[in-house]
A and B are shown apart, each in its own frame.
Chain A
Amino acid sequence: MTRTSRRQTWRILFLISPSLFWLIVFFFLPLILVFAISFGQRGTYGGVKWLLNLGNYARFFDPLYLRIFGRTVYIAGATTLICLLAGYPLAYFIATRPPQWRNVLLLLLMIPFWTNFLVRTYAWILILRDQGLINTLWTGSLHTGLLQLSNLVPLPIWEPLLHATAQPLTLFGTDWAIIIGLVYGWLPEMVLPCYAAIERFDFSLVEAAQDLYANRVKTFLRVILPLTMPGVVAGSVLVFIPSLGAYVTPDLLGGAKSIMIGNVIYSQFMAARDYPFGSAVSFVLMAVMLVGTLIYFRGGTD
């Protein structure tokens, strides 16, 4: 190594030292600690007994936890899919507006997210619960409306509808309440990368495809989608990964039955005081996220 290139190396090390320090002290060392703890054993009164073993990882494969993990993947997957189906067209719409409108529309998309996440999740409780906004309309206006209608035009078809609207819908505390909350929370994470990809897309290629006998659907599938795939991949990862680790949303919107792996980790650390098992679950989740991300990015670039 020459003297100048060595000096260059030192200069670079100096410049990145603050972030390097931060990452080592606040990210890497705690991670090592958690990793070490995951091989320990819960002490009688909490705490960690350093009896190194793989029992915590074995315990994760208990059907109880596997089922919760399965539901977590299902909820995160459904969230990602819905975000994609809703976010991509929205991103496409914004990216194809005249330039002066695009920033306004992106701003409008971001405005709700200036409110605290907790407050916004609470708002969904007010909308979804049995006496909430949707059910007030369902059992109130809709029910009485149907009642009047059935009095005016007596037909048998009203019977099941009246029966259904007499009871509030069970929305709150279900998997779908969590999915709604997560979709609402992570939608911009999908829209922004998709927008960036679509905005960069050269629309003269659409004309080229149409000139070569491709209709709208074929043009989308063969030209637009493949060329905006990096945005789709990035958006999906940005939605799927935090959804997988979601804790607040299932805690507030989910019921006793619909808990996610994030709630398990929380309860192991806070309620059960089983640090080693909580650490093991954290590491399994992280490993799954890492593998999933790698597969997804590799698939996207091919």
Chain B
Amino acid sequence: MSEYAVELEGVSKHFGPVVAVDGVSLSIRDGEFFSLLGPSGCGKTTTLRLIAGFELPTAGEVYIGGKPQGETPPYRRPVNTVFQNYALFPHMSVFGNVAFGLEMQKVSKEDIRRRVLESLEMVQLPGMENRKPGQLSGGQQQRVALARALVNRPKVLLLDEPLGALDLKLRKAMQLELKALQHRIGITFIYVTHDQEEALTMSDRIAIMSGGHVLQIGAPGEIYEQPADRFVADFIGETNFLVGRVSEIRAGEATVLVDGTLEVCALATADVVAGQEVTVAVRPEKMTLHAAPPDPLALPGRVEEVIYIGTDTRYLVRLTEQTIVVVREQNLGAATTARFHEGEPVYVSWTSGCDRLLTE
């Protein structure tokens, strides 16, 4: 038995001339909550469908529980799916929907009854078994879809944007509930979403996808703090990009000349050389504003705009003719006015190491 629940080995999927998934390799551990995150059209849903068997790879191999799947049809794979639109059978009751998979596996009548009621209990829908899907709310339908998949006790549960159709509040509640459920039953979840916050909240690990490729795989913290490239840094959270050329590397610190005038210091990576075109990425919440320069590395600028958003205040600070950065400051005190005002000269600084030098 492999320690991996699902592995993809150089999997590609072409639809005619369109390459939806391009040489993706993934190893998803047993019991892991793994998210595929990316913008629409990045190939995340196709990747999920390749695991489920709804699509067959053009190249590469999908392994489930260590077994190569080849052209195994979906009904012979030990995985179950929660579909984006739930795909509940409208002509069957909730009981009929949840019992369907067990009936197909020829489970005995008594066992079906017991397991269906158990799983409805698990998704907090007891007493609903005689309703038709059309009589349920979106959130309830979502729970039925979940129960219908989980009742089969699959090795892996595949979820294709299952919360996409729910309103914000319900979605937040379901995120926590799903995560708790996964923790309790210990089944591997592979979760497709375009919502970065959702992925960060729920996942053990995340794979960021774009253009059919996997750009980075890592724990939420790694993805957020150490984005592999500009796309990841931009896609996950908010990031300031300072584009320039490396003028000097000394003691692990690279000095980057931005727009020919501004000198920015950043932690050098192993592959960076002097004269190279690079991007320094710094998250807005890592930056601080000062009225006087706290150290010689602080960048001088001028406040362009102040935006108050309750928990934080966002400052747009112009550093050069071409470059504006966003600085996010938590409103810790009780002051009703911002610390700085439009047009004021300020200095921007951040703790060394909070910056990230990207060569792409």
Which residues on A are within 8 Å of B, measured CB to CB? 202, 204-205, 207-215, 218, 222-223, 226-227
- Partner pick for B104 among A204, A207, A213, CB 8 A cutoff: A213
A212-B80 CB under 8 A given contacts A204-B87, A227-B91:
yes
Chain B hits for A213, CB < 8 A: 75-76, 101, 104-105, 152
Contacts of B149 in A (CB 8 A): 211
B91 & A207 in contact (Cβ 8 Å cutoff): no
**A165 CA / B83 CA spacing, docked (Å):** 59
> In the complex the two chains form, is A210's CB within 8 Å of B100's CB?
no
**Are B148 and A210 closer than 8 Å at their CB atoms?**
no
Closest CB of chain B to A23's CB: distance in Å? Answer: 36
Q: Quick one: given A207-B54, A209-B100, are A215 and B83 in contact (CB under 8 Å)? A: no
Contact across chains for B87 and A215 when beta carbons are under 8 A apart:
no
Number of residue pairs A-B, CB distance < 8 angstroms: 57
- Chain B contacts for A214, CB-based, 8 A: 75, 100, 104
Docked complex Cα distance between A276 and B266 (Å): 106
Are A208 and B87 within 8 A (Cβ)?
yes
Q: A302 CB to closest chain B CB, in angstroms?
A: 11
Q: Which of B85-129 contact A (CB under 8 A)?
A: 85, 87-91, 100-101, 104-105
Query: A226 contacts B91, CB within 8 Å?
Result: yes
Instruction: Name A227's closest neighbour in chain B (CB-CB).
Output: B91
A218 adjacent to B104 (CB under 8 Å)? yes
Q: How far is the CB of A211 from chain B (nearest CB, A)?
A: 5
Chain A nearest CB, measured from B157 CB (Å): 11
Complex Cα–Cα for A243 and B152 (A): 48
Whether A211 touches B105, Cβ cut-off 8 Å, given contacts A202-B87, A204-B87, A205-B89, is no
Q: In whole angstroms, how far apart are the Cα atoms of A207 and B54 in the complex?
A: 7
| B87/A207 in contact, CB under 8 A | yes
Q: How far does the alpha carbon of A202 sit from the alpha carbon of B84 in the complex, in Å?
A: 13
Residues of A within 8 A of B80 (CB): 211-212
A222 to B87, CA, bound (A): 14
Q: A204-B83, A207-B83, A207-B87 are in contact. Are A212 and B148 (CB under 8 A)?
A: yes
Query: Quick check: B85 and A204 within 8 Å, CB to CB?
Result: yes
How near does chain A come to B317, taking the closest CB pair, in angstroms? Answer: 49
Q: Which residues of A contact B100 (CB under 8 A)?
A: 209, 212, 214, 222
Q: How many residues on the B side are at the interface (Cβ–Cβ under 8 A)?
A: 24
Residue pair B87, A205 in contact (C-beta under 8 Å): yes
- 0/1 per residue, B56-83, Cβ < 8 Å to A? 0000000000000000011110011101
For the complex of A and B, the 8 pairs showing the least CB-CB separation, nearest first, are: A212-B101, A208-B87, A213-B104, A210-B74, A204-B87, A211-B81, A210-B75, A213-B75
- In the assembled complex, the CB of B259 is this many whole angstroms from the nearest CB of chain A, namely 51
B82 CB → nearest A CB, Å: 9
From residue B164, how far is it (CB to closest CB) to chain A in Å? 14
Pair B89/A223 contact, Cβ less than 8 Å: yes
Minimal beta-carbon separation of A120 from chain B (angstroms)? 38
**Does B268 lie at the interface of the complex (its beta carbon under 8 Å from any beta carbon of A)?**
no
Are A212 and B87 also in contact (CB < 8 A) when A207-B54, A207-B74 are?
no
Indicate if B52 sits at the interface (CB-CB under 8 A). Answer: yes
- Roughly how many angstroms separate A126 CA and B287 CA in the complex, as a whole number? 91
Q: Which of chain A's residues have a CB closer than 8 A to the CB of B101?
A: 212-213
**Selected A-B contacts with CB under 8 Å, 19 pairs:** A204-B83, A207-B54, A207-B87, A208-B88, A209-B89, A209-B100, A210-B53, A211-B74, A211-B75, A211-B81, A212-B75, A212-B152, A213-B75, A213-B104, A213-B152, A214-B100, A222-B100, A223-B89, A227-B91
Chain A contacts of B54 at CB under 8 A? Answer: 207, 210-211
Asked if A210 and B73 sit within 8 Å, CB to CB, the answer is yes
Q: How far is the CA of A106 from the CA of B206 in the complex (A)?
A: 48
| Chain A residues within 8 Å of B91, by CB | 226-227
Q: Roughly how many angstroms separate A212 CA and B116 CA in the complex, as a whole number?
A: 14
Instruction: Give the chain B neighbours of A202 by CB distance below 8 A.
Output: 87
Please pick, from B75, B85, B152, the residue contacting A215 in the complex, using a CB distance under 8 A.
B75
Cα separation A218 to B100 with both chains bound (whole Å)? 11
Closest residue on chain B to residue A205 by CB atoms: B87
- The smallest C-beta distance from A200 to any residue of chain B, in angstroms, reads 12
Identify the closest chain A residue to B91 (Cβ).
A226
Query: What residues on A are CB-neighbors of B79 within 8 Å?
Result: 211
B45 to chain A, nearest CB (A): 12
Closest to A207 in B: B54
Residues of B within 8 A of A208 (CB): 81, 83, 87-89
Q: List, in ascending order, chain A residues with CB within 8 A of B75's CB.
A: 210-215
Q: How far is the CA of A207 from the CA of B89 in the complex (A)?
A: 11
* A215→B149 CA distance, assembly (Å): 17
* Distance to closest chain A CB from B55 (angstroms): 10
Complex CA distance for A226 and B90, rounded to whole angstroms: 10
Cα–Cα, bound, A7→B190 (Å): 62
Given A207-B74, A209-B100, A210-B74, A227 and B90 contact (CB-CB distance below 8 Å): yes
**Nearest B residue to A212, CB-CB:** B101
- List the A side residues contacting B105 at CB < 8 Å: 213
Quick one: closest B residue to A213, CB to CB? B104
Q: What separation, in Å, do the CA atoms of A222 and B101 have in the docked complex?
A: 12
Q: B48 to nearest A CB, angstroms?
A: 11
A211 touches B104 (CB 8 A): no
Nearest CB of chain A from residue B159's CB, rounded to whole Å: 12
> A223 vs B87: C-alpha distance in the bound complex, in angstroms?
11
The smallest beta-carbon distance between A60 and chain B, in angstroms, is 41
Question: What residues of B have a CB within 8 angstroms of the CB of A211 in the complex?
Answer: 52, 54, 74-75, 79-81, 149
Complex contacts, B89 vs chain A, CB 8 Å: 205, 208-209, 223, 227
Distance, CA A127 to CA B88, complexed state (A): 50
- B211: min CB distance to chain A, Å: 25
**Known pairs A210-B53, A210-B75, A212-B148. 10 more at Cβ < 8 A?**
A202-B87, A204-B83, A208-B88, A211-B75, A212-B152, A213-B75, A213-B104, A213-B152, A218-B104, A226-B91
Cα A268 to Cα B186 with chains together (Å): 79
B50 CB, nearest partner CB in chain A, Å: 13
B88 cross-chain contacts in A, Cβ below 8 A: 208
